[in-house]
Amino acid sequence: MFKKSVYSFVTAMVVAGVGSSVFAAAEASHFTRPANVPFPADNAMAKERIELGKLLFFDVRLSKSEQISCATCHDPKKGWSDGLPKAVGHEGRMGPRNTPTILNGAYQQTQFWDGRAATLEEQALGPIQADVEMNMPLDELIVKLNGIPGYVKLFAKAYPGEGVTKESLAKAIASFERTVVSSNAPFDRFIKGDKKAISENAKKGFELFKGKGGCTNCHDGFNFTDGSFHNIGLDDGDVGRYKVKSKEIFYGATKTPTLRDVTKSSPYFHNGSAETLEEASTVCSSGGKNPQARNVSTALKKADLTREEIGYLADFMKTLESPAMKLDIPTKFPK
C-alpha cells in the first residue's frame, strides 16, 4: 500500500510549493499496474497450460449436471461475475453470497469473499465440489477427464509426467484465470499524465476518493483494494472471515473487492444488496449500512457526502472500466 506517511510528506512539499513533480511521480507509480502478472514457481506461465485451463473453464462437463461451467458464474460478458445478487448453481440452488469477479485475481493474496483459499489453484477446485455450484466430486471428475483422450493429451503437453490429477486440474484452471486481468482504462492514461483522459467530474471524484470520502482506506493501489477484510455493517448474518479465523476483528468482515471494471460487475457487496455505484458509495461513505452493527470496520469514514459528491465518486469509478479482454471463447471441446 501507498504509505500514508510518505503521501502526507509529499503533499506537504506540494503545499509548500516544491516537489509537485515528485508527488505526481509517486502517485502515478502507486496506481500503476506491475509490469508482470505473477505466476508461482510450481505453475509457471506456459501457453499450453493457459489454453488447457481455458477449455476447462468453459466446459460444462466439469459439473455434475453437465449444464454449468466455471464461466456460468464468471461470465466474461458480465465483468467475470454473473449479474445476480447471489450465485445460482446446481439445479437452481442459490448460494450464500454474490459471485465475486475473478478479474485481477492473480494479484490477490487470498481468494473468495472470506479469503479461505490462499491461491488460485486452491480456489479453482472449490466451486467444482460445492453442492450449490457445480456439485461434482473431484474423484469422480478426475476419472471422467481421464476417460477423455483429448484432455489426456492436452494435460500431458501442459504438465508432462503429472497426468490428469486434482493438482494438475487446479493448476490448469488457475493458469487461465491469471490471464484474466484488466487492461488500459481512461484512469490509467490520466494517472500517467493525459489530463484529458477523464472528465472534470471524474477528477473531482478522484480527489474525493483519496480525501474526504476515505475510499483509499480500503480501495487503494492500482487494483483498488487493500487485499484485507472489512465489515461494512450490512448486518445480514454473514460472519464472513470469522468462519475462517475466529477472531473478533474478522466478525462479519469480507474481502475488499477490486474496483477495476466495477461498472461491469453489479450488483455489489458480498450479498449483492447494492444495485448501483451510487448506492454502494453511499453505504461506504456513511460509516456502513448499519454503523452500530457488531465489529463495523474502523476504516469506514462517515464522510457526509452530498448527492453531487456521490455522483462524482461514481464518475471516477467509471474511469476504471477497461476494454473487454480479447478472448476466443471455446465452442468445441476435447473428445
Q: Is pLDDT at 2 greater than 60 in this prediction?
A: no
6 pLDDT tier (thresholds 50, 70, 90): very low
Q: What is the pLDDT of residues 143-170, one digit of tens each?
A: 999 999 999 999 999 999 999 999 999 9
Q: What is the pLDDT of residues 309-335, one digit of tens each?
A: 999 999 999 999 999 999 999 999 999
Q: What is the DSSP string of 57-107?
A: HH-GGGSSSSS--HHHHSBGGGTTB-SSSS-B-GGGPBPSS-----TTGGG
20 pLDDT tier (thresholds 50, 70, 90): low
pTM for this structure? 0.92
Q: Is pLDDT at 14 greater than 80 in this prediction?
A: no
Instruction: Extract the C-alpha cell encoding 220.
Output: 487503494
Q: Is pLDDT at 288 greater than 80 in this prediction?
A: yes
25 pLDDT tier (thresholds 50, 70, 90): confident
Q: Is pLDDT at 19 greater than 80 in this prediction?
A: no
Report pLDDT for 3: 43
Q: What is the pLDDT of residues 193-214, one digit of tens each?
A: 999 999 999 999 999 999 999 9
Q: Is pLDDT at 11 greater than 60 in this prediction?
A: no
Report pLDDT for 13: 46
Report pLDDT for 22: 74
17 pLDDT tier (thresholds 50, 70, 90): low
CB atoms within 10 A of CB 31: 21
Q: Is pLDDT at 283 greater than 90 in this prediction?
A: yes
Burial label, 100 (beta-carbon count in 10 A; 0-12, 13-18, 19+): buried
Q: Is 72 left (phi over 0), alpha (psi -120 to 50) or beta?
A: alpha
Mean pLDDT of 67-72: 98
Q: What value does the mean pLDDT of the chain take?
A: 94
Closest CA to 164 of 274, 9, 70, 55: 55
Closest CA to 97 of 242, 272, 275, 256: 272
Q: What is the pLDDT of residues 116-143, one digit of tens each?
A: 999 999 999 999 999 999 999 999 999 9
Beta-strand (E) ranges in the chain?
A: 229-230, 254-255
Q: Is the dihedral of CA 39, 42, 46, 49 positive or negative?
A: negative
CA-angle at 95, arms to 90 and 100, nearest 5°: 110
Kindly list the catalytic residues. Answer: 133
Report pLDDT for 1: 38
Mean pLDDT of 15-34: 76
